[in-house]
A = this chain, B = another copy of it.
Amino acid sequence: MFESAELGHKIDKATYDEEVPKLREALLDAQLELVEKASFPVIILMGGLDGAGRGETVNLLNEWMDPRFIQTHGMGEPSDEEMDRPMMWRFWRALPPKGKIGLFLGSWYTWPMLNRVMGVTKPADLDQSLERAKRLEKMLTDEGALIIKFWLHLSKEKQKARLEFLEKNPKTRWRVTKRDWEHYKRYDRFVEVYESVLRHTSTAEAPWIIVEGADARYRSLTVGKVILETIRKRLSEQEQRKPAEIAAPPLLPAIDKLDILKTLDMTQKLDKKKFDEELEKYQGKLAMLTRDPGFKDISVVVVFEGNDAAGKGGSIRRITGALDARQYQVIPIAAPTEEEREQPYLWRFWRQLPRKGRVAIFDRSWYGRVLVERVEKFCSESDWMRAYMEINDFEAQLVRHRIVVVKFWLSITEDEQLRRFEDRQKTGFKRFKITEEDWRNRSKWEAYEQAVCDMVDRTSTAVAPWTLVEANDKPFARIKVLKTLCQRIEAAMEKKKGD
């Protein structure tokens, strides 16, 4: 795998001096075209051995290119803020928008590999990290991102020579640390792990580009040319680029009249007295749970989806009424902002993830993709089909980070919705709540019902199940929501004590 990167590639100064000005100009041109078209982001990963020139290359690229459209991220030790979120959060927040370049010094591969070499983790842990990395990259390329992964390599002799060279020069001495020499001692082990990782993650969409790092001129010119050619190729393909066809089977046809929504008992009710008792009981319980010291180790993400006028707002207020105001955030999801449209679909949800000990309540959510966007054809079939798996992946990452994911579908019948719509139009202060769009959505009742059933079937998982709430009776729905939430939080905190 590293054969070509141990040959002693070199570029003489004269050639280099002649080539660089041309390359820089071409890079700037490509960058401008990229910004103008703004049709895809470019993600460059710079990995490699100590002393192979990762930092220098990144600096040089920043010098060569227009700094307004390129942003560098040194991914060292994660911050407190970052430790509080799932591992991938720090990368999501750093993703470049369409038209821009994000340059990552260290990536989602760095720590998993290092931990494996150092024996901190087992082979199975590394495998799982690589799978997560591949899924992230697949999602990014499916969303249109261009990923260029560089690996700067050095032979064992070259690494030694390079560290010694840097040490001798007073100007660069500081760059060689004790850790570098410790790593050098484990050269063979490092290269063994790197080889295996590069092999498993060189996908057709995002292969590793291995570059010999010993000669700075060769390295810089190669990296620069690869970036240039890759961006150019993609810009020229851009016009005729089509999303991959989905040959997948259709979703389950409705051959009888039975579905999960139709089997709900919509007559369930709670009288005023019983409601008041239960409300006090579960709000009290929720208040206790979220103030328990154990709550600081978990966080909670609550998702509300439901028919229009199903009472999401009312249910949310019964939850927040029991919480400390500093502890929660209600996140209403409407059409994406301009900034959000420049990013992969899940980006705007990743940015809202709560820290430890906090609660985030989503009033509508990432499920928009498989509900409204599917039914209204705001995205292609392949986009919403792959969304099921991306969402399951996303939620699995949250759960793995001890975030309790509680998802409610508030269900009302067609008749009840009509009653509420008419009621809203009659009542002055409620009138703003009903729009033309609500009536339009209503006319597609069946298509939405099918989408909801498919969503539950495909995303109600053991780690993040859906709770269907019979919401024709508001008191009944509100108590079911509160009770479920308490149970889920309690179970998560128990589990902590358990293991």
Residues in chain A within 8 A of chain B (CB atoms): 1-5, 7-11, 122-124, 127-128, 131, 141, 146, 148, 192, 195-196, 199, 202-207, 209-211, 218, 221-222, 225-226, 229-230, 233-234, 237, 241-242, 244-250, 252-253, 255-256, 258-260, 263, 382, 385-386, 388-389, 392, 453, 456-458, 460-462, 466
Q: Is the CB of A252 within 8 A of B4?
A: yes
19 residue pairs A–B, Cβ–Cβ below 8 Å: A1-B458, A2-B457, A3-B456, A9-B258, A11-B256, A122-B124, A199-B392, A199-B461, A202-B389, A204-B386, A207-B458, A210-B252, A218-B256, A225-B253, A226-B252, A230-B250, A233-B250, A234-B247, A244-B244
Cβ-defined contact, A246 with B4, below 8 A: no
Q: Which of B1, B209, B253 is in CB contact (< 8 Å) with A461?
A: B1
Given contacts A245-B242, A457-B3, contact A255 B218 (CB under 8 A): yes
Give Cα A347–Cα B221 distance, bound, in whole angstroms.
41
Whether B388 and A249, one on each chain, are in contact in the complex, defined by CB atoms closer than 8 angstroms, is no
A461 to B196, CA, bound (A): 8
Output the least CB separation between A275 and chain B (Å). Answer: 28
A226 to B22, CA, bound (A): 57
Q: Are A4 and B209 in contact (CB under 8 A)?
A: no
Query: Of residues A1, A249, A392, which shows the largest number of chain B Cβ atoms within 10 Å of its Cβ?
Result: A249
> Lowest 7 A-B CB distances belong to which pairs?
A124-B124, A204-B386, A244-B244, A230-B249, A204-B385, A4-B457, A3-B260
Q: Which residues on the B side are within 8 Å of A462 (C-beta)?
A: 1, 192, 195-196
CB distance from A382 to the nearest CB of B (A): 6
The answer for the CA separation of A255 and B20 in the assembled complex, in Å, is 12
Complex Cα gap A10–B218 (Å): 70
Instruction: Report the separation of the CA atoms of residues A247 and B127 in the bound assembly, to the nearest whole angstrom.
Output: 25
| A385 to B388 alpha-carbon distance, docked (Å) | 28
| Bound form: Cα–Cα A230–B249 in Å | 5
- CB–CB B229/A7 < 8 A: no
Expressed in whole angstroms, the Cα–Cα distance for A250 and B4 within the complex equals 16
Residue from the set A11, A218, A248 with the largest chain B CB neighbour count within 10 Å? A248
Q: How far is the CA of A99 from the CA of B203 in the complex (A)?
A: 29
Q: Which residues of B contact A205 (CB under 8 A)?
A: 246-248
How many copies of this protein are present in the complex? 2
Given A131-B131, A245-B242, A457-B4, are A256 and B195 neighbors across the interface (CB < 8 Å)?
no
Neighbour of A255 across the interface among B210, B221, B260, B388, CB < 8 A: B221
In-complex Cβ contact of A148 among B192, B242, B249, B457 (8 A): B249
Q: Is the CB of A141 within 8 A of B260?
A: no
Residue of A196, A209, A252 with highest tally of chain B CB at under 10 A: A252
**Given the complex, which residues of B lie within 8 Å of A226, measured CB to CB?**
249-250, 252-253
List the B residue with the shortest CB-CB distance to A131: B131
Flag if B458 contacts A195 (CB, 8 Å).
Answer: no
A263: chain B residues within 8 A (beta carbon): 7
CB-nearest residue of chain B to A249: B230
- Bound: A466/B2 CA distance, A: 12
Q: Is the CB of B385 within 8 A of A1?
A: no
The answer to whether A203 touches B3, judged by C-beta atoms less than 8 angstroms apart, is no
CA–CA, A210 to B196, complex, Å?
36
Cβ-defined contact, B259 with A457, below 8 A: no
A259 contacts B7, CB within 8 Å? yes
Whether A241 pairs with B245 at a CB distance below 8 angstroms is yes
Which residues of chain B are near A250, meaning CB under 8 Å? 226, 229-230, 233
Q: How far is the CA of A148 from the CA of B247 in the complex (A)?
A: 10
Residue of A2, A141, A207, A466 ringed by the most chain B CB atoms within 10 A: A207
**Which residues of chain B are near A127, meaning CB under 8 Å?**
124, 127-128, 131
Alpha-carbon gap, A218 to B146, bound state (A): 46
CB of A7 within 8 A of CB of B260, answer yes
- Please name all residues of chain B whose beta carbon is closer than 8 Å to the beta carbon of A9 when the two chains form the complex: 256, 258
B253 close to A222 (CB less than 8 A)? yes
Q: How far is the CA of A425 from the CA of B386 in the complex (A)?
A: 58
A303–B230 alpha-carbon span in the complex (Å): 33
Query: A209 contacts B242, CB within 8 Å?
Result: no
Q: Are B256 and A202 in contact (CB under 8 A)?
A: no
Distance (whole angstroms) from the CB of A495 to the closest CB of chain B:
15
Closest to A253 in B: B225
Q: Is the CB of B195 within 8 A of A252?
A: no
User: Which B residues are CB-close (under 8 A) to A460?
Assistant: 1, 3
